[in-house]
Structure 1
């Protein structure tokens, strides 16, 4: 979204900037929305000078609009039309936002990126380019480079002075400049000088880290090589930086790193996209850009739909996207501009700082009042009153708040978990639901072949039937249907790289089971017609030597065409030619895919009557099923290479059913149980069969044995009065079957206990498939929120549906983690609060977290470290706030007698106690176990506000008692204000007493707020912090004893100081725990939306009666649902 503005009022802007010595401009730098109001007025986009861009995260950016014309550069400007051609225009108006260029399309009246227009090109454009064999002219190249820019991900290193300036003008350092100025004015040179040195060092470290990250990013992305590109005057060798969209170029046969996104025009390629998509294994890219005519409209190119044909390294390609528009560019931009964390803790932090500032205003007014009454000099009044602000709002607060995140991130890196967005770590502490992909995440990547069920062809009198289970693929066991072995041996995307077979793990397992061999064909083995059509040689598949003599099999098979596997289609196919046939026009299409999809493509006469029963039987035991089918084709090579997929994947003959076992990883059950014990909900989101997914969910503990399990499905042949598909509900049981009869359903065996554990959890679980989820989304949207609150298995989910599920969970206030290992999970990983990609790459565009250990042990680790970081941030903030309020109250008391703490007392507190404690606060490691009770996430909760306010009251009363009681001592000498001395003498007995008392209060604050279990290890695991507190305690105990004039009162006074410091704080800490515990147990408390839903529907599954009877009934929200009731066994 964007708004247009005209530049106005420059004189007023510059005048205010000059008069305020730049402070006005600095304020506008911090508040960009104010800058817009001062510098511009709203107008239409056609005449605007600036555009205010609001991204999907509601982050605003004010960008200037530029333009170029033919007179400015000597070339006629051109913009893409969306059909592959360029249109000449008089002027191009554009702006850049986060490295991308956006141009103004007057006909569309919107700003649009040129690459977005290229994402809608008709497929016939690529088809025509492939046939023409001509490239772009030099004039076209120059014009396109003007529009798109160079093909270079240019991560520029900012000058050191610029980095220093950017760091120095942050609010944190500006406030430090203000504080240091006040301290120097008050002759507090020691600490002020140390703060200046520390600030300079901190700025230097920040600049060094920024520069190091920029260099690391630059080394990761900056690369170029020479490519052979086809231009109008022939093939030329140029630098990859000179490529423009529309270029056709050749990548060397030995492969390499692609410098742009490109569409595969000829041949096949094996690519490794782990860094970009998180896909854990190499995948195959094939040619499939054939125009499809449908109702006089041609299919258009889509980067998502045709991702299987977009190449990142390979053979002949057509460039489509350059620089920051590429997928790699998106990764770089996601690192440079991370997703802002919409976390309540951060918002509460700023509100709490505002609350502290309000307290500072009270002290400011108090100081001015008493000093004016005493006729103090104006300079002293100003300095002392402003000094109160620097005490109550500590300048070191922002730096101290980051120690927990920094330490957690370092510990994660040691465990091979990398984070490109450290600000996400605190959010991980609030995770309460974890979504998992199944294959490769919960289960092993590899599959074990279990059995083969071939189909015996039927006759006019008999229906087709399955053979007995076959433990191998021996043709002798399949005399009448051995072609199923041919289908398995040829229908795959396997290729050879350096003499080794590479491809999808499922393809490799099945191919190796057949015992066949795959060879890259040589010229003299290729049919002449193939050579005339394409110089890319087909893959040959050969049976074992013994089978070649079998009349069922040929000596070799040529794979002419591949239709790669698609998650949306749930199948793949190949067109195979048998070179031994008398006519090369006889070809066969072999198809394999999910049993449900293949069934819809097959001729019903070729499908055994018990097909679905057999599929469900195996699926209920957790097996993965692949159906295999074929179709005879009569066409030549040219037609086979260009025919659309939907024209051949129809009227298939079913060949058989392959049963594979997808073993659950050894660590999965333990991790899921650990999350369940911590009351963190676990959800499976997979593209596999619903019954298979539910069986695996039972095996790994997502579906628990003490809960009822139901399958939610829909009917395509029955509709309710509103025309909506009828829903069905089946109870899945692991033991004996028990039918549910609507109103007669018995729920008495479900125990419902009280307490947080149960009213925030349900005593039953639902499972649903992607097609039914789509029906609910469109026809029953009112059911989505209660459904996602109790549904824990989502099967046959497309990639976009996974993202929708994450969004629905977030909509009911869940903090969601998503863990997956493949490209199909990218959208969901990016949508989640914490996406964790299982990949060998150190950084992935798919998620802020990347684990090199390919199992889900990383999930509880990330949550534990997130909780540790969150609790550390809470503790540091409360410690720093408590320190500020403690010092504030002591200064208020000393101002009453016109004195203050001495410079060395301030220095000891600020430098040797507060700073060291804050630095070492985050060193406490995370707990080894996940607690069932989540950590607090709100600073402005009743418990947190009570804690800080209670500390202020306790500290103030304790100090008031010490301040008064010391005057009762016989050796007390009252403080007298020195007269005529240039250097103010601040030494006083009240000051010394308050200094000794508050020192123990600071130590107490550190001990109380440095909480250990259940989210962190006990404090003694933090050795540097323990040493610091011990040393400070010994020093202060010694100084307290030496400071009291009479020996008999030394030990007593020291003990009293400790008791009045520690005792009330411990009582307050117990009260805060009681408040939190009461809130957790109170169902009327202000819970999240999902908690309220579970409180209404989770304790008793009887609400499902309105969801299961076969008639229209209300669901409690004014809507009606018609549902049929069934039972199945799992």
Structure 2
């Protein structure tokens, strides 16, 4: 919720989006933002918001008395308002009476206005006794859902509902409703509606381990009860019957108005055009139904699947259909090539999976087993985000599993059907976020304005015809005909021509759109956000150099070696242990004889020259057989190095802590065999230089570490820090110890420097967007200085602008106890700082910073940790700074989404272009998400480009502008022509005449319809203009244009209409008495006809 100062906030948001310079001045001058602080709770909110909270009180319309008829719940990313209703007999009788008396028109009106339906049929009540729930989402979209009951008498199964600890509790009756494929259950003891999927965060980790260690699965009775509660495990996209689709399409307001218009025309003997409109409408309905059906089939074929799975039940292992899986089932993960049909927690072994169907990321990902619960963490709860590396997602393909000696990999079903991550993405396609676009709202307002004009003409026609004692039938037909003239029935169809043609042109350019309604929105885009790696830069990295650490002594601190162009252990200190770390610390796996993994891991591993083997030896140490040890991955150095006794013959990777965006690192535990048949355990860790520094023993870090990191980062290089820790433990402890207990007190081994080259087309595209005055923003998980350097190289940061870093201090606080925010200028080595040496990075005082913000152009950059501080501690500064920051580095996936939402909150129309799993949330949140993927359709974004570079972005914007301009032009043309024809008819009605049928046909068919169709086929411009198309249909320019044209045409028609009567050759024609036909041979008819053209 926004504060009571919402109007003032919206006003200043416009300042933020239009005049970013002024915003920074507010920030630097200590502008009072207190009135803008949001009332949102920045911590995780409970599923049910307190009824006594402000947010709850604001939902009620007046006093509620003792009944709680409205609740507000959070489920996943959605916030829903639930209003309880019960049927009212008196209202129901009235409803049926009105429906019958109006021959169904009253029911049709309620179909168009669903929010009225519930008020006509029911009254508000407490949720405990409700028959219906009116669900309103955060976009104010409403749905009226019936509440259903289930008791044990239904089919003999005892009803059970889930608890917060993973178990089920028996109840007398289950009250539930479904909304957008999810089931919501009423918990009478808590007096709240719950979604079972939202209880995952309350399950203790020990529940999963106890269930896995029990060795037995669910009983048949438990399975039956859970299937009753959760339903079948099937993402079923049901195909609506053709007749239903036809009926739904036919009763839309557009086609009902066409039925009305055609009825008037046929009654007026205007059969030609009416017949053409009937044929066109039937064809249009058929095309719409065909497209809807095709989209349903395409979505169904893309997402609906099932297979057989081996599941542990109380009576042993059974092979069942995946549709029969329920949460709590234990199943065996297939060793090769299986598609998962549920979200599950991996309990032992590891699994190599491909999640490209969900994220577009084609790089295989390693999933590891859920670690054992430590004594200090017995109460730790499961988190979908925190434990994502242990979750096997529905829809992912299992490439390979590494399993226990004599045991297969097991997983516990967590979520099924539409509750899964895949199900949520499918739901986002089936129920997309409404397009909040001013053009569409203005269109409806203008149509309403045309109806008011039509009402004036309606009244005018009745008045003059009644005065002339015209027959009643003629009065009715002529007065209603005016409505069809002012509001052309073909207007909605003509408005969609530009979108259809733009979509076809995009497909020819290998850009596919699953939501054509967003194309118009693309024409208004004024901010483009880009991921860095794989989007702006190449997917691969080039090894540049290596800086190993020479250990220090009591007198000398540690120091870096000179740059090494290759991983030659003979040239490195400590026996080349840095090479061992690089060769073992990775998530590479061998599938079908080929190495697969993260591109960075592959590049570094190939530099070592080592080889990787998947262990298949059944003869392992007895200690390994007794405990939870998976088959290790073996790496071997080249033979020439082992012969020189520089390395052992092989190293076993027995434990892997996978890479996490939030942790910014990965680690492995490596077993190093010794001559005495024992093993050394070593932890190797690699990650971002900032994070690894916090984990290292300061005595092992060279004093110039930060300076060296900044030096390389300023030149755009990507840096990886490598460290190690010798472990004094056996296999058992190594396989059980928590990650945070071993990733500490590390010894720094060195820095690896890689170059991430900018794609050849990137600079040209960014410059093209800059010239079009479209703001470009980089959003990446890379180092801040590296991101800033790449941003400068590709044109996001201009050469003539100063670049400042927004940072926070952890050792200094403001009077409110918040971390202090600072500005720091960072430039490339060839530029001067504000106050410092060349190539320096120095803090700038607030006064100095203020001066330079006033006197010069500037651009800001910010890192994820500082962005988090702004979000939590300085919410009043978040949106103003977002308006001027152009580089966002070290951003977590949820922060990328928050950034997109913040940009949208200050009235930007945002496009997001990315290619990886970390971009999915941001792609979905943006007005126009563009995924770079080989697939024709991605459920992560409305647009998918098969060409993996950012050339698609200006193409989408150009086509969006073409569709938007076409829609503007078509509307103004049709509205102008309709109003012109309206003025003509008003004049002709004055003398009791009208246009002939063929004149109407010529105007309606050739001058309006055909021109509008060809108008919409105009291709997009080859360049992006700095002046964007207007987005407001009701802007002063648009309204003045249409109204001015109307006035000019009306005055012209009036002049020629009157002046012709003054001509000596003018012969008026009088209608014989009793003749109901208009005088269509009048010279004034021809004058109005030609002046209209």
TM range (shorter): 0.7 to 0.9
TM superposition shift of 1:734: 3.2
TM superposition shift of 1:576: 1.1
Structure 1 residues 90, 705: CA separation in 2 closer, same or farther (over 3 Å shift)?
Answer: same
Hey, what's the Cα distance between the residues in 1 that align with 2:177 and 2:538? 48
Contact kept, 8 Å, 1:271 with 1:314, in 2: the verdict is no
Structure 1 residues 756, 16: CA separation in 2 closer, same or farther (over 3 Å shift)?
Answer: farther
Hey, what's the Cα distance between the residues in 1 that align with 2:815 and 2:960? 50
TM superposition shift of 1:827: 1.7
Structure 1 residues 984, 267: CA separation in 2 closer, same or farther (over 3 Å shift)?
Answer: same
Q: Structure 2 residue aligned with 1:322, among 413, 416, 436?
A: 416
Structure 1 residues 691, 260: CA separation in 2 closer, same or farther (over 3 Å shift)?
Answer: same
Q: TM-score normalized by structure 2?
A: 0.86
Hey, what's the Cα distance between the residues in 2 that align with 1:248 and 1:646? 28
TM superposition shift of 1:865: 0.7
SS at match of 2:806: strand
Contact kept, 8 Å, 1:671 with 1:860, in 2: the verdict is yes
Contact kept, 8 Å, 1:489 with 1:541, in 2: the verdict is yes
SS at match of 2:846: coil
Structure 1 residues 705, 255: CA separation in 2 closer, same or farther (over 3 Å shift)?
Answer: same
- Aligned Cα RMSD in Å? 7.9
Structure 1 residues 53, 811: CA separation in 2 closer, same or farther (over 3 Å shift)?
Answer: same
What per-residue deviation string (whole Å, max 9, x for no partner) do you get for residues 282-332 of structure 1? 3222x2422555876522222222222222489999999111112222222
Structure 1 residues 1127, 378: CA separation in 2 closer, same or farther (over 3 Å shift)?
Answer: closer
Matched, 1:832 2:926: yes
Hey, what's the Cα distance between the residues in 2 that align with 1:306 and 1:80? 21
Contact kept, 8 Å, 1:276 with 1:845, in 2: the verdict is yes
Hey, what's the Cα distance between the residues in 1 that align with 2:710 and 2:919? 26
Hey, what's the Cα distance between the residues in 1 that align with 2:449 and 2:1072? 36
Q: TM-score normalized by structure 1?
A: 0.83
Hey, what's the Cα distance between the residues in 1 that align with 2:1086 and 2:698? 30
What per-residue deviation string (whole Å, max 9, x for no partner) do you get for residues 374-396 of structure 1? 11111111111111011101111
Contact kept, 8 Å, 2:723 with 2:749, in 1: the verdict is yes
Name the stretch that deviates more: 162-171 or 535-544: 535-544
Q: Structure 1 residue aligned with 2:888, among 782, 794, 819?
A: 794
TM superposition shift of 1:524: 3.8
Hey, what's the Cα distance between the residues in 2 that align with 1:745 and 1:314? 49
Hey, what's the Cα distance between the residues in 1 that align with 2:1085 and 2:866? 14
What per-residue deviation string (whole Å, max 9, x for no partner) do you get for residues 340-376 of structure 1? 1011111111111111111111111111111111111
Hey, what's the Cα distance between the residues in 1 that align with 2:1089 and 2:191? 52
Structure 1 residues 947, 294: CA separation in 2 closer, same or farther (over 3 Å shift)?
Answer: farther
TM superposition shift of 1:759: 14
Hey, what's the Cα distance between the residues in 2 that align with 1:539 and 1:1125? 85
Contact kept, 8 Å, 2:522 with 2:961, in 1: the verdict is yes
Contact kept, 8 Å, 2:91 with 2:121, in 1: the verdict is yes
TM superposition shift of 1:696: 0.7
Hey, what's the Cα distance between the residues in 1 that align with 2:824 and 2:851? 27
- Name the residue aligned to 1:18: 100
TM superposition shift of 1:958: 1.9
Name the stretch that deviates more: 79-88 or 576-585: 576-585
Structure 1 residues 1122, 508: CA separation in 2 closer, same or farther (over 3 Å shift)?
Answer: farther
Contact kept, 8 Å, 1:740 with 1:1127, in 2: the verdict is no
Structure 1 residues 426, 1122: CA separation in 2 closer, same or farther (over 3 Å shift)?
Answer: closer
What per-residue deviation string (whole Å, max 9, x for no partner) do you get for residues 192-218 of structure 1? 122112211211111111111112122
TM superposition shift of 1:755: 25
Contact kept, 8 Å, 1:57 with 1:340, in 2: the verdict is yes
Contact kept, 8 Å, 2:767 with 2:795, in 1: the verdict is yes
Name the stretch that deviates more: 671-680 or 288-297: 288-297
SS at match of 1:755: helix
Name the stretch that deviates more: 346-355 or 185-194: 185-194
Hey, what's the Cα distance between the residues in 2 that align with 1:75 and 1:47? 24
Hey, what's the Cα distance between the residues in 2 that align with 1:698 and 1:294? 50
Contact kept, 8 Å, 1:331 with 1:845, in 2: the verdict is yes
What per-residue deviation string (whole Å, max 9, x for no partner) do you get for residues 37-81 of structure 1? 111111111111111111232211111110101111211111111
Contact kept, 8 Å, 2:338 with 2:397, in 1: the verdict is no
Structure 1 residues 275, 486: CA separation in 2 closer, same or farther (over 3 Å shift)?
Answer: same
SS at match of 1:253: coil
Contact kept, 8 Å, 1:357 with 1:389, in 2: the verdict is yes
SS at match of 1:330: helix
Structure 1 residues 29, 294: CA separation in 2 closer, same or farther (over 3 Å shift)?
Answer: farther
SS at match of 1:523: coil
Structure 1 residues 720, 581: CA separation in 2 closer, same or farther (over 3 Å shift)?
Answer: farther
Contact kept, 8 Å, 1:588 with 1:632, in 2: the verdict is yes
TM superposition shift of 1:580: 4.4
TM superposition shift of 1:570: 0.2
- Name the residue aligned to 1:65: 147
Contact kept, 8 Å, 1:739 with 1:1126, in 2: the verdict is no
Hey, what's the Cα distance between the residues in 2 that align with 1:588 and 1:748? 39
Hey, what's the Cα distance between the residues in 1 that align with 2:101 and 2:396? 63
Contact kept, 8 Å, 1:835 with 1:847, in 2: the verdict is yes
TM superposition shift of 1:969: 4.2
- Name the residue aligned to 1:163: 245
Hey, what's the Cα distance between the residues in 2 that align with 1:460 and 1:343? 68
Name the stretch that deviates more: 737-746 or 93-102: 737-746
Contact kept, 8 Å, 2:354 with 2:399, in 1: the verdict is no
TM superposition shift of 1:760: 15
SS at match of 1:205: helix
Hey, what's the Cα distance between the residues in 1 that align with 2:697 and 2:775? 43
SS at match of 2:919: helix
Contact kept, 8 Å, 2:343 with 2:392, in 1: the verdict is yes
SS at match of 2:258: helix
Hey, what's the Cα distance between the residues in 2 that align with 1:899 and 1:403? 35
Hey, what's the Cα distance between the residues in 2 that align with 1:658 and 1:612? 14
TM superposition shift of 1:843: 2.5
Contact kept, 8 Å, 2:356 with 2:396, in 1: the verdict is no
SS at match of 1:971: coil
TM superposition shift of 1:104: 1.2
In the alignment, structure 2 segments of 5+ residues that lack a partner are 1-89, 402-414
Contact kept, 8 Å, 2:993 with 2:1085, in 1: the verdict is no
Contact kept, 8 Å, 2:548 with 2:573, in 1: the verdict is no
Matched, 1:931 2:1025: yes
Hey, what's the Cα distance between the residues in 1 that align with 2:205 and 2:841? 57
Name the stretch that deviates more: 17-26 or 841-850: 841-850
